[in-house]
Amino acid sequence: MTRCRIARSLSMSLLTLVVSACGRPPEPIIPQPPVNGDEFVARINQEMRDLSLELNAAGFTYATFINPDTEFLNAKANERYLTYFSKAVAESRAYEEQQLSPATRRALHLLKLSVAAPAPSDPAKRTELAAIASRMEGMYGAAKYCPQGPDSCRDQTQLTEVMARSRNYDELTDVWTGWHATARPLRKDYVRFVELANQGAREIGFTDLGAMWRSGYDMKPEEFTREAARLWDQVKPLYSQLHCYVRSSLQKTYGANHVADDKPIPAQLLGNMWAQQWAEIYPLVEPYPGVNDLDVTAALVKQKYDAVRIARSAESFYVSLGFPKLPDSFWQRSLLKKPADRDVQCHASAWHMDSREDVRIKQCIEPDQESLMTVYHELGHVFYYLSYKDQPYLFQNGAHDGFHEAIGDAINLSMTPAYLHDIGLTGEVKRSEQATINEQMKLALDKIAFLPFGKLIDEWRWKVFSGEIKPENYNAAWWQLREQYQGVGAPVPRTEQDFDPGAKYHIPANTPYTRYFLSYILQFQFHKALCAAAGFKGPLSECSVYASAEAGKHFRDMLALGQSQPWQETLEKLTGTRQMDASAIIEYFAPLMGWLETQNKGKTCGWQ
C-alpha cells in the first residue's frame, strides 16, 4: 500500500494530533499502569514526543493543503491525541500526593496544560470537540468575500492588502464588512466548542478553560489576572496619547463626520483588518514628512526580494548572534509563498515538527515591510525550538508563552534604521530629533497600538469561558471591550447575528492570545538586557545587537532552559529581575511621549 503523510495546524499549541497512513488509523497509545513519578514522567515524555511526530506532520499538511479529506483526517488526529491526553492526565493523579522532585512535579503540572482545549472523557463528546475544532479552523482558512459572485472572490491576504493600501472610506468599509461576515457561520460551532472545552477543563481540575490557561504562568489564575491589569496600567498613558494624535490626523483625511473628536476611531481606517496594528497608516500620521527614508516596502520591491531572500535575511541576523544556520530541511519543507492551486492558512506560524531539528515556518510572504518583520519574528520561534531541543519533551516550550512570542520581536527592535540601511533597505540615516520622532512614531503604530488589542482578546474569552459573557451577548461584549481598551468602534451597526471575534484567526483556532500582550512587554525588557550585554551606550531606541557575540550568548543561555523552571527564574537570568515590567517601553518611547503630549495640548482626547 502507498503510504502518505496527512496533517493539520497546531496553532502554536498542542491542540491537535495525527494519523499518518492512508488506511485505518493506528491504535491509540494507552498509558500503562503506574510505576513511580520519575518513571511515569520519563515514559510520558517519550510517548508524547512519538505522538508529536504524527501530530505535527498532520498539522502542517492540513494548514498547507485545506480540503475535506485533510479536514476529516485532522479531526481524527485530534481525537486520537485527546484520547491519549485524557488518559495520561487521569493516570498522573496517582502521583499528586507522593514525594516528587521539583522537576517531576513541574512536568506533571505542565502535562495538564499541554493542550489548549482538553476534551471531555466521554468518547462521543471527544469526537465532537475534535470535529468542531478542525471545522472551525478549516472554515477560517478557506474563507473568502465574494461581493458579486464567484468571480469576485478575494481571500484574507487580498482583503488585508486593500485594508493596508486603500484610503477610500467606502471601499474600506465594504472590505471590512465582507470579511467579518465570513465569521457568522462559526458562531454556532463556537458556542458548542466552549461547552465541550469547559467540560474537559473541569474534568482535569480547573473551574473553566480560561482558568486553565491562566494557570500556565507559575501563579494562581487570579494573581495573573491582576498582573495583566498592572502591566496594562503601566502602558495605558502612552497608548492614550498615541490614540489622540492618530484620531486627530485621520480626521484630516476622512473628515469629522467620519472621525469625531470624542468617539472611538472607526476600525476600518487603521490600515489593518482587525485594527490591531496601525503601521500601514504611517503616511497619514507622519510627524515630519520626508525626514529619513523609512519606506522599506519600496526597497524590497525595487530590489526584487522574493520569499526566500527575505527569509535568508532573517536567518543572517540570528547567525550573527551565534545561532546555527537553519537546517537544509527548513528550506525544503517550509511554505514561504502562497500556492496558486489550493487553499492554505496564510496566517504565519512556526513549527517544531520532531522536537529535534525539523523546524519550519508557514507564511505567505510578500515583498513588504510587514512580511519582513514577520519572518524575523517567526524565526525567533524557530531558534527557540533549536535552543531547547535537548530538554525533555514537557519542558520544550517557552518559559511562558509570552517568552516564545517575545524572542523574534526583540530581534525586530534591533532592526533599526541604521541596520536596515546597512543591509540596503533604507536610505542614509541622518540622526536628528525629527528623524527620531518619525522612527518612533512608525514603531509605536505597531507596538503601542497593539497593546490593548493583545489584552482584550483573552479577556473576552476568559469571560466567555467563565459564563460571564453568554452566547446571546457575544458580539455586544466584544465591541464593549474593544471600545473600552482600544477606543475603536465598529464601522457599521453590529448585531448578535454577527460573530466578529471569529473573524480573528486565534478565536476559531483556539490559540491563547495573552501571550502576545505579554510579549510586547517582555521584548523591550529583553532588548534592554541584550543591549547592555552588547555594551551599547546611548538611547535604547538606537541600539541594534546585530553581530554581538556577547548578547547572543546571553540570549542562547536563556533560551536553552525552555520551560524547565519557573519563568521568573528564567527572566532573571537575562534581565536581572524576576518581574515583568513595562518601564523599558516607557524609556524607549520617551522622546515620542513628550512630543505627543505637546501635539495633543488643547485637543479632545479620550472617547465616549
pLDDT digit string, tens, across residues 516-565: 999 999 999 999 999 999 999 999 999 999 999 999 999 999 999 999 99
Which of 121, 143, 165 is the last residue in one of the domains? 143
Question: Do 435 and 580 reside in the same domain of the chain?
Answer: yes
Q: Is the predicted pLDDT of residue 7 greater than 50, yes or no?
A: no
Question: Which amino acid belongs to residue 493?
Answer: P
Question: Do 506 and 424 reside in the same domain of the chain?
Answer: yes
| Better pLDDT: 605 or 26 | 605
| Better pLDDT: 61 or 499 | 499
Q: Is the predicted pLDDT of residue 396 greater than 70, yes or no?
A: yes
Q: Which of 530, 521, 540 is nearest to 436 (CA)?
A: 540
Distance CA 589, CA 238 (A): 9
Question: Do 517 and 596 reside in the same domain of the chain?
Answer: yes
Which of 122, 143, 164 is the last residue in one of the domains? 143
Residues of the chain with pLDDT > 70: what percent? 94
pLDDT digit string, tens, across residues 195-227: 999 999 999 999 999 999 999 999 999 999 999
- Asked whether residue 265 is assigned to any structural domain, the reply reads yes
Q: Distance of CA 296 to CAs 157, 246, 280, 305, 445, Å?
A: 19, 22, 12, 11, 15
Which of 93, 124, 143 is the last residue in one of the domains? 143
Distance CA 311, CA 314 (A): 5
Active site residues: 347-348, 377-378, 381, 405, 506, 516
Query: 32 pLDDT band (50/70/90 cuts)?
Result: low
Residue 136: CB atoms within 10 A of its CB come to: 21
| Confidence at residue 29, expressed as pLDDT on a 0 to 100 scale | 52
Question: Do 98 and 231 reside in the same domain of the chain?
Answer: no
Question: Do 419 and 510 reside in the same domain of the chain?
Answer: yes
Query: 20 pLDDT band (50/70/90 cuts)?
Result: very low
The answer to whether residues 326 and 317 touch, using CB atoms and an 8 Å cutoff, is no
Q: Is the predicted pLDDT of residue 83 greater than 50, yes or no?
A: yes
Region 365-375: mean pLDDT is: 93
- Asked whether residue 124 is assigned to any structural domain, the reply reads yes
- Asked whether residue 192 is assigned to any structural domain, the reply reads no
- Asked whether residue 168 is assigned to any structural domain, the reply reads no
Question: Do 117 and 230 reside in the same domain of the chain?
Answer: no
pLDDT digit string, tens, across residues 567-593: 999 999 999 999 999 999 999 999 999
| Confidence at residue 325, expressed as pLDDT on a 0 to 100 scale | 98
How would you write 254-283 as a 3-class SS string?
HCCCCCCCCCCEEHHHCCCCCCCCCHHHHH
- Asked whether residue 332 is assigned to any structural domain, the reply reads no
Q: pTM value? A: 0.87
Q: Which range marks the domain in which residue 11 is found?
A: 1-143
3-state secondary structure of 386: helix
Region 126-153: mean pLDDT is: 92
What does the mean pLDDT of the chain come to?
Answer: 91
3-state secondary structure of 349: strand
- Asked whether residue 185 is assigned to any structural domain, the reply reads no
Region 432-460: mean pLDDT is: 95
Region 292-308: mean pLDDT is: 90
| Confidence at residue 501, expressed as pLDDT on a 0 to 100 scale | 98
Question: Do 218 and 110 reside in the same domain of the chain?
Answer: no
| Confidence at residue 470, expressed as pLDDT on a 0 to 100 scale | 98
Total count of domains within the chain: 2
Question: Do 492 and 408 reside in the same domain of the chain?
Answer: yes
The answer to whether residues 78 and 15 touch, using CB atoms and an 8 Å cutoff, is yes
Positive or negative torsion for Cα 500, 501, 506, 510: negative
Question: Do 454 and 568 reside in the same domain of the chain?
Answer: yes
3-state secondary structure of 359: strand
Q: Is the predicted pLDDT of residue 2 greater than 60, yes or no?
A: no
Bridge-based pairing state of the strands 359-362 and 349-352 = antiparallel
Question: Do 136 and 215 reside in the same domain of the chain?
Answer: no
Region 149-156: mean pLDDT is: 92
- Asked whether residue 549 is assigned to any structural domain, the reply reads yes
- Asked whether residue 287 is assigned to any structural domain, the reply reads yes
The answer to whether residues 12 and 59 touch, using CB atoms and an 8 Å cutoff, is no
